[in-house]
Amino acid sequence: MAVAATALPSLDVSSTVKMYIREVGRRARDRFEPNADRSFTADIAGHLQVAAEHAHMGTELPPGTRLRGAKHAVLRGARSVTYYQVRYNRAVLEALAELELATGASVPGGVAAAVASFEVQLQELAERMDTTVAAAHAARDAAVAEVDRARAEVRHLRAEVVEVRQRHTRTESELRQLRSLQDLVLREVRQAGGLPLGESGLTEVSRRLDHRFDDLYQDLEDTFRGSREHVRSLVAEYVADVKAAADGGGSVVDIGCGRGEWLEVLRDADITAYGVDLNETFVEANTARGLDVRVGDALEHLRSVEPSSLAAVTAFHVAEHLAMDDLVELVDASLRALRPGGVLVMETPNPVNLRVGATQFYIDPTHLKPLHPQFLEFLVTSRGFVDVQLRYLHPMSDPPLTVDALGDADPAGAAQLIEVLNWALFGPQDFAVLGRKVT
């Protein structure tokens, strides 16, 4: 129980020690039963009595001590060390005595009542804590849900802002187009003699607007389609197919006849044929060559002819200009217009050739989309034609790759790879689908 003299220099030792001992006792009371054994409490009291007799820590001399004077001098010299220790010892003993009295049998049921009260308070505190925690969790969940709702609302508002901006951009583009068209209309009206215009004058203005790029498109064809002689050599291979159908009667109509190379080949083969095209520049040039070519829309023309009257309908590089609805209607209208045994011929760029599908197809800005060979073959078959053929045409003139370019590591694998590459890069630039109307 020794404590240094400087440990409690400025405290009320008695009250401080008693406070600590009482707190220890309060926390330890649940160890005692209400009717504790009196022998146990008596034993505690006895030990406390013995401790009290020695609490002075040698600051007093027992009676009959020899050399009392000298020893008193020593005790006085050590008092600065023993003073606080003695006070501490006595304070501890007093607090323990009070604790022994509080837990003794002289206060029956007191400890049990205190413990029960303490347990009730603990239970109430635990319930309050559970309620508080549950409320905090609910508040947190509500806050998280509100944050999520706010974020969703922000995302929705951002999407609406993006959509409004896109609509605004489209509207501005449409307005620019309308202003451009308005300028064209006014220019054509002024060239027609000024306002007011009658119905015929407005029709003429509309016609001029529809055909204002005809000359430009003719120049495009002359530049990229190839020479007339070259195109004639390409389309000549269809003469046998068409002649077999034409021998049974009826004319051949070439839809979108362009520069008229195919019509010239048919004329040279003594096959009756005429062409239809929307481009007035093409029509005028073909007419000057003595060919029968008419200005008109392909679908409208096919709908206007007598059913089952034509020997053949041909359309070279027309399908890629049409929307899906118009393409299907072109096939249906051709089937209606052809006589039994008549033939439909459709040629278009081959996108399976990577160089055609990825680059050359887009030289013509009026092309809508490439058509896969298998799709066009399926379309013609599904709309009622029979004996449908798919032909790959006009391979590129570039020299193909050879096995030597890949070395001798795997000759068989190299040959297979070279074959695939040659087909994809140097293979047919065009393909044709031919179908016959059932007899």
Region of residue 228 (left: phi > 0; alpha: psi -120 to 50; beta: else): alpha
Pairing relation of β-strands 386-395 and 428-436? antiparallel
Mean pLDDT to the nearest integer, 338-366: 94
47, 53, 58, 60 alpha-carbon torsion, rounded to 10°:
180
Instruction: Return the beta strands (E) in 99-149 as ranges.
Output: none
Q: Is 400 helix (H, G, I), strand (E, B) or coil?
A: coil
Q: Which of 34-38, 162-166, 230-234, 235-239 has the lowest mean pLDDT?
A: 34-38
Q: Beta strands 251-255 and 293-295: pairing type?
A: unpaired
What radius of gyration do the chain's Cα atoms show?
56
Residue 381 C-alpha from the chain's centroid: 38
Amino acid identity of residue 40, one-letter, is F
Q: Is the pLDDT of residue 382 over 80?
A: yes
Residue 56, helix vs strand vs coil: coil
- Quote the CA–CA distance of 177 and 182 in Å, as a whole number: 8
Q: Residue 55's pLDDT is what?
A: 52
How many residues appear in the chain?
439
Average pLDDT over residues 251-263: 97
pLDDT, tens digit, 9 for 90 and up, residues 268-318:
999 999 999 999 999 999 999 999 999 999 999 999 999 999 999 999 999
Please write the tens of the pLDDT for every residue from 176-216.
877 776 676 666 666 656 555 555 555 655 556 566 677 78
Least-confidence region, from 117-121, 161-165, 353-357:
117-121
Distance CA 58, CA 86 (A): 9
Q: For the residues 36-50, what does the mean pLDDT come to?
A: 51
What phi and psi values does residue 56 have, to the nearest 5 degrees? -70, -10
Give the confidence band of 173 by pLDDT, cuts at 50, 70, 90. Answer: confident
The strand pair at 428-436 and 338-349 is best described as: antiparallel
* pLDDT for position 345: 98
Provide mean pLDDT across the span 8-12.
Answer: 45
Q: What are phi and psi of 294, to 5 degrees?
A: -125, 145
| Per-residue confidence band for 1, with pLDDT thresholds at 50, 70 and 90 | very low
Neighbours of 386 (CB within 10 A): 11
Distance CA 281, CA 289 (A): 13
What is the rounded CA–CA span in Å between residue 248 and residue 341?
A: 8
Q: Are 25 and 102 in contact (CB under 8 A)?
A: yes
For every residue of 92-154, DSSP letters joined together read HHHHHHHHHHHHSTTSTTHHHHHHHHHHHHHHHHHHHHHHHHHHHHHHHHHHHHHHHHHHHHH
* H helix or E strand, kind and range, residue 26: helix 13-28
Provide mean pLDDT across the span 152-165. Answer: 91
**Residue 85 · residue 7 · CB < 8 Å:** no
Confidence of residue 105 (pLDDT cuts 50, 70, 90): very low
Token pair belonging to 301: 């023309």
Query: What pLDDT shows up at residue 5?
Result: 39
Sorted by sequence, the CB contacts under 8 Å of residue 364 that are 6+ apart come out as: 220, 224
Q: Among the listed ranges 53-57, 246-250, 259-263, 395-399, which one has the minimum average pLDDT value?
A: 53-57
Q: How confident is the model at residue 115 (pLDDT cuts 50, 70, 90)?
A: very low
pLDDT score of 31 more than 70: no
The burial of 406, by beta-carbon neighbours within 10 Å (0-12 exposed, 13-18 middle, 19 or more buried), is given as middle
The pLDDT value recorded for residue 418 is 79
Write down the pLDDT at residue 219: 83
CA 152 to chain centre: 17
Per-residue pLDDT, 111: 43
Share of the chain above pLDDT 90, in %: 43
Q: What is the DSSP letter of 5?
A: T
Average pLDDT along the chain: 78
When mean pLDDT is compared across 69-73, 242-246, 268-272, 420-424, the lowest value belongs to: 69-73
C-alpha–C-alpha distance, residues 48 and 41, integer Å: 11
Q: Give the predicted TM-score (pTM) of the model.
A: 0.54
Q: What pLDDT was estimated at residue 342? A: 97
Q: What is the pLDDT of residue 192?
A: 59
